[in-house]
């Protein structure tokens, strides 16, 4: 069993105190396991399943993350990654699906906290934080060990969409809305469809 030293213990308690006292940080914590869209200070939008956060609102998204970067000509450049960590200081706001009831979600999360039935894992360091300079200057900096070339929108996409029976016409329209084709991998395609529905239907 691991034992925290005094410094580490203080850091944990400070983090928990910030989390419990800040509604800005509490709400993302209540959304763990749900799809969200994070808008950065430079208007870049990142959509994926929220898998962890901490008291500083550092977030980690997984399950097929879509990064949409704003361009000066109005077009959007899209990058796909498997997982990503985002520093809280880079976040402007977090958008949640319309189907999520904010009041009931917070009430449920508070109940779990009071009953000791929830544990907030801190974002891991397996993938580097997404920084504005990385987004603007070097796409390769976004590609950490957790992602592969198959997850980029312009590589290894199938040309014949009739060979992907797991997608409906409405799903193909979701892909068309960002100008890409399905990957041909059932798991990846279905995750992308769910994520795109959130991305294309913000609050």
Q: Within a domain: residue 162? A: no
Taking residues 167-192, report their average pLDDT: 73
The CATH number of the domain where 41 resides is what?
2.30.30.100
Taking residues 163-178, report their average pLDDT: 74
CA distance 111 to 101: 15
Q: Within a domain: residue 188? A: no
Closest CA to 59 of 149, 132, 127: 127
Q: Domain of 111?
A: 6-146
Q: Within a domain: residue 52? A: yes
Q: What would the pLDDT profile of 147-159 be if each residue is shown by its tens digit?
A: 333 333 333 334 4
Closest CA to 180 of 155, 198, 201: 155
Contacts of 141 (CB under 8 A, 6+ apart): 128, 131, 134
Count: domains in the chain: 1
The pLDDT, as a whole number, for residue 40 is 92
Question: Rounded to the nearest 5°, which phi and psi values hold at 102?
Answer: -65, -45
Global confidence as pTM: 0.48
pLDDT higher for 114 or 117? 114
HSE, CB side, 13 Å, CA atoms: give it for residue 87.
9
CA distance 171 to 160: 15
Q: Within a domain: residue 185? A: no
């Amino acid at each position: 069993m691991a034992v925290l030293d005094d410094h580490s213990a203080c850091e944990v308690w400070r983090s928990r105190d910030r989390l419990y006292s800040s509604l800005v940080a509490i709400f993302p914590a209540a959304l763990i396991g749900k799809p969200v869209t994070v808008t950065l200070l430079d208007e870049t939008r990142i959509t994926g399943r929220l898998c962890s956060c901490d008291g500083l609102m550092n977030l980690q998204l997984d399950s097929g993350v879509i990064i949409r970067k704003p361009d000066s000509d109005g077009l959007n450049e899209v990058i796909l990654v498997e997982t990503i960590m985002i520093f809280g200081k880079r976040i402007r706001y977090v958008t949640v699906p319309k189907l999520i009831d904010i009041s009931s979600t917070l009430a449920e999360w508070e109940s779990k906290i009071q009953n000791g039935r929830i544990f907030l894992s801190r974002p891991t360091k397996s993938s580097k934080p997404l920084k504005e300079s990385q987004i603007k200057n070097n796409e390769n900096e976004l590609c950490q060990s957790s992602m592969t070339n198959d997850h980029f929108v312009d590589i290894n996409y199938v040309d014949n969409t009739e060979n992907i029976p797991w997608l409906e016409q409405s799903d193909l329209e979701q892909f068309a809305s960002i100008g890409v084709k399905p990957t041909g991998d059932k798991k990846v395609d279905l995750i992308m469809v769910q994520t795109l529905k959130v991305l294309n239907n913000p609050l």
